[in-house]
């Protein structure tokens, strides 16, 4: 970063050891190499909003458990004038030693500093109406949004990530971290890993590129910070309220006709994606033409969103959803390896994980499946229940069956091949000793999903709910819910949240 002019010897907030009672500072800097920048003025005017280059220091990388320890920002207005502001924050929790080693911020420094709650209004005043620019914006915006959410504020700013800008403008170069940018462009920073020092590097990065590659920088910004062309019958103000977190959304046509139900762990982004792609996919085109209203339901996390989407599609039968719309009775093949009985095609009966196979729309489809595997694996029509009687089956007469029906192979040999053939469509045996609870969500939205034998029993917020759900009437087995749960619980990260429940 450009060194400060010798016309001022005032220390910047991020360069001082901030003592208790002096954590909150604001200053209008005019001698930092950015003041009244013609290049930045051109960039801001082209983007249509003032910029706020923001950096945070935190107690760690988890937006739920960790907290902000310092905020620094460089605001840039339409005239290219810059204003620097920074403050330490009391995170109200321990600052790990490795964080102190990196940033120099320890618990003594933040003692007496304002909490985020106390600084909330000051931050909102400075950030509202600005495009926030941050290096690895997902990190900084994640902490800001989570912190504002705890204070009851839905903070959804326009944003740009300088890492992504660097990648777009230097596509053949390795390394896009802040240190790499400084080395590449000859920028300096006297307070690295402090909020204001790093925010200044981002501002100078923009200034440097605005001065030499403005058109390319604008193209990269617009590509990243793009607002889709919304359908004429949808208001932008409606979309402003859609949260960034996980949930389910419902898109309606005129007269309340439900067009589409979808889910995402990033609701706002996913909804906007429909209208960004309306020129490419037929479904998106129909949504853009017919959409009149959007509703959404926030969920605790990804699993809750997946399950709610599946249920809403079955219950509401939206016009443009094809998947998950099954309403017919589920048919399966019931068979126990090692038993003497032939496979049975059952519809509407209780599914037994481990001894049930497939999900078929009709008995005819299940029967067709059995005939196909008989032909592919040399199986006996009589042993499979496809033909009655004794003696050689029809398959043996045409030299397809390997002869279990005439004693040329044992039942065990035949049934082992049958088990192997059915394995790919087997309803997996329940891997737990009883019902389980799967915890999901952050503090204010935390919930416990109750599951047994691949059947979703419901959400519980306390022990009373757990007891009621375990004792209540059990829903029917649902093949789509089974597939959702199977994929979810196959992930080792999710299995760590499982808790075995007593009956």
Q: How far is CA 27 from CA 30, 196, 205, 299, 343, in A?
A: 10, 11, 21, 41, 79
Give 286-290 contacts, CB < 8 A, sequence gap 24+.
286/259, 286/320, 287/231, 287/251, 287/259, 287/260, 287/320, 288/231, 289/231, 290/253, 290/254, 290/259
Q: What is the mean pLDDT of the chain?
A: 85
What are the pLDDT digits (tens) for 210-252?
Answer: 999 999 999 998 887 655 556 667 766 666 678 878 999 999 9
65 as an active site residue: the answer is: no
Q: The tokens of 401 are what? A: 């069956």
The rounded distance, in Å, linking the Cα atoms of 405 and 379 is 10
**pLDDT of 330:** 85
The rounded distance, in Å, linking the Cα atoms of 478 and 474 is 12
How far apart, in Å, do the first and last CA atoms of the chain sit? 64
Top pLDDT among 125 and 326 is at 125
Catalytic one among 130, 135, 176, 193? 193
**pLDDT of 493:** 85
What are the pLDDT digits (tens) for 30-58?
Answer: 334 455 688 899 999 999 999 999 999 99
The rounded distance, in Å, linking the Cα atoms of 459 and 307 is 11
The rounded distance, in Å, linking the Cα atoms of 449 and 461 is 9
Top pLDDT among 95 and 275 is at 95
The rounded distance, in Å, linking the Cα atoms of 350 and 435 is 17
Q: With cut-offs at 50, 70 and 90, classify the pLDDT of residue 435.
A: very high
The rounded distance, in Å, linking the Cα atoms of 449 and 428 is 20
Question: Does residue 484 carry a pLDDT above 70?
Answer: yes
SS3 labels along 114-178: CCHHHHHHHHHHHHCCCEEEECCHHHHHHHHHHHHHHCCCCCCCEEEEHHHHHHHHCCCCCCCCH
The rounded distance, in Å, linking the Cα atoms of 126 and 146 is 18
Q: The tokens of 146 are what? A: 């989570």
What are the pLDDT digits (tens) for 443-477?
Answer: 667 899 999 999 999 998 888 889 999 988 888 88
pTM of the model: 0.54
Top-level CATH class of 13-224? alpha beta
Q: With cut-offs at 50, 70 and 90, classify the pLDDT of residue 175.
A: confident
The neighbour count for residue 61, using CB atoms within 10 Å, is 11
CATH H-level superfamily of 236-316: GIY-YIG endonuclease (3.40.1440.10)
Question: Does residue 12 carry a pLDDT above 80?
Answer: no
Domain ranges of the chain: 13-224, 236-316, 331-425, 436-500
Name the helix (H) or strand (E) containing 326.
none
**pLDDT of 361:** 84
The rounded distance, in Å, linking the Cα atoms of 310 and 460 is 19
């Amino acid at each position: 970063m450009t060194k400060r002019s010798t016309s001022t010897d005032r220390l910047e907030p991020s360069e001082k050891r901030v003592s208790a009672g002096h954590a909150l500072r604001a200053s209008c800097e005019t001698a930092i190499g950015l003041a009244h920048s013609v290049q930045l003025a051109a960039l801001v005017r082209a983007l249509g909003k003032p910029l706020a280059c923001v950096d945070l220091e935190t107690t760690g990388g988890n937006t739920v458990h960790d907290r902000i320890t310092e905020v620094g920002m460089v605001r840039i207005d339409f005239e290219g004038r810059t204003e620097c502001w920074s403050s330490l924050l009391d995170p109200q929790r321990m600052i790990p030693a490795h964080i102190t080693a990196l940033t120099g911020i320890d618990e003594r420094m933040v003692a007496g500093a304002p909490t985020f709650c106390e600084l909330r209004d000051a931050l909102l005043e400075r950030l509202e109406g600005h495009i926030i620019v941050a290096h690895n914006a997902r990190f900084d915006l994640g902490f800001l949004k989570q912190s504002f959410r705890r204070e009851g504020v839905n903070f959804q700013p326009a944003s740009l990530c300088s890492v992504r800008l660097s990648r777009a403008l230097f596509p053949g170069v390795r390394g896009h971290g802040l240190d790499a940018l400084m080395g590449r462009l000859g920028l300096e920073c006297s307070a690295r890993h402090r909020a204001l020092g790093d925010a200044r590097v981002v501002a100078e990065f923009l200034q440097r590129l605005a001065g030499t590659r403005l058109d390319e920088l604008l193209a990269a910004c617009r590509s990243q910070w793009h607002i889709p062309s919304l359908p004429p019958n949808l208001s932008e103000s409606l979309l402003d309220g859609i949260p960034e977190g996980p949930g389910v959304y419902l898109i309606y046509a005129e007269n309340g006709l439900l067009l589409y139900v979808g889910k995402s762990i990033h609701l706002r982004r996913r909804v906007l994606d429909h209208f960004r792609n309306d020129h490419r996919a037929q479904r998106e085109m129909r949504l853009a033409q017919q959409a009149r209203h959007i509703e959404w339901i926030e969920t605790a996390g990804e699993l809750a969103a997946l399950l709610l989407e599946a249920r809403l599609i079955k219950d509401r039968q939206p016009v443009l959803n094809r998947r998950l719309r099954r309403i017919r009775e589920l048919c399966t093949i019931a068979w126990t390896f090692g038993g003497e009985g032939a496979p049975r095609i059952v519809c509407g009966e209780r599914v037994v994980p481990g001894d049930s196979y497939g999900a078929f729309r009709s008995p005819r489809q299940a029967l067709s499946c059995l005939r196909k595997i008989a032909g592919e694996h040399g199986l006996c029509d009589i042993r499979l229940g496809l033909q009655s009687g004794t003696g050689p089956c029809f398959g043996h007469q045409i030299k397809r069956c390997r002869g279990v029906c005439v004693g040329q192979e044992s039942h065990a040999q035949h049934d082992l091949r049958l088990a192997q053939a059915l394995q790919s469509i087997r309803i997996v045996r329940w891997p737990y000793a009883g019902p389980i609870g799967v915890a999901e969500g952050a503090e204010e939205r935390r919930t416990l999903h109750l599951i047994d034998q691949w059947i979703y029993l419901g959400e519980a917020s306390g022990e009373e709910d757990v007891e009621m759900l375990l004792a209540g009437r059990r829903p029917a087995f649902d093949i789509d819910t089974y597939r959702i749960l199977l994929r979810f619980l196959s992930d080792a990260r999710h299995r760590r949240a499982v808790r075995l429940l007593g009956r």
